[in-house]
Amino acid sequence: SIPYGKTVSYRKLASLAGYRKAWRAAGSALKKNPVILIVPCHRVIRSDGNPGEFGGGKKVKKFLLSLEKVSPPDTRFKNYFKNGAR
């Protein structure tokens, strides 16, 4: 479980699941998630700090992350929201 207000990269998620090199498979599985608020896949982001894709659409993902006042993994992600990309 990824705590409210926190994020994890697709790569880290795959590694935690025991499949270190399966970050694309992790992303594909999350994109098909039919219950986006119960399984908070919006908290999984790209390794470079960008939000990445989302089954509910990028705008919804950015909105959900901004609602949670996400603690960014790096400065680029913090600036992403600071510059009005919500």
Active site residues: 41
**CA-to-CA dists, residue 66 to 69, 80, 83, angstroms:** 5, 11, 12
Beta strands in the chain (DSSP E): 8-9, 44-45
Q: Are 10 and 44 in contact (CB under 8 A)?
A: yes
Nearest to 45 by CA among 5, 77, 10: 10
